[in-house]
Structure formats: structure tokens, C-alpha cells
Amino acid sequence: MTDALGSIDMPDAEDDTREKKARKGGKRGKKGPLGRLALFYRQIIAELRKVVWPTRNQLTTYTTVVIVFVVIMIGLVTVIDYGFQEAIKFVFG
């Protein structure tokens, strides 16, 4: 069977001329376990430097919003729990 570029059994000439380079493993292949661990921690630090950290004002705002939300949810669950408790007392005596 053939296609537009040539036979399946006979690959194109340009495919034969391509040389495949053997990889040596990059940075990992050259270092021992301690070197790889040091590289890992250096990469962590590099990624943390890219993070956009919130300002003190943003952090205060976000913390306040979370605390208010948690307090509201605690109140809601308490009210629902108390309602179920009273309903169970009414039904079962």
C-alpha cells in the first residue's frame, strides 16, 4: 500500500538521514541522590518566587471573610440541629 509520500514498506529518504541523538539524562543523570534533592529544593524556591503573594490588607480581608462565613455556617448548622432535636422530641415524646 502506498500513500502520497511513498510506500509503507520503504520509508522516505529523508527519514533515513535523520540521526537520533542519545540523551544522557540531563541534570538528573549527572548528580547523585543528594544532588537531585538539592536541585528539587532549588526548584521549589524558584517556583515560590513566582507566586504573587497577597498584601497585608488583602490577607486581612480574606481572613475576615473566611471567619465570618464559618461563624454563619456554625449558626446555621446549630439552628438546624436544634430544630431536628425539637422535632424528634415532639415525635417520640
Domain limits of the chain? 53-92
| Contact call for residues 54 and 62 (beta carbons, < 8 A) | yes
For the stretch 12-60, pLDDT in tens is 555 555 555 655 555 555 678 899 999 999 999 999 999 999 999 999 9
**Nine-digit cell at 22?**
542519545
pLDDT at residue number 64: 98
pLDDT at residue number 36: 92
Q: Which residues contact 38 (CB under 8 A, 6 or more apart)?
A: 31
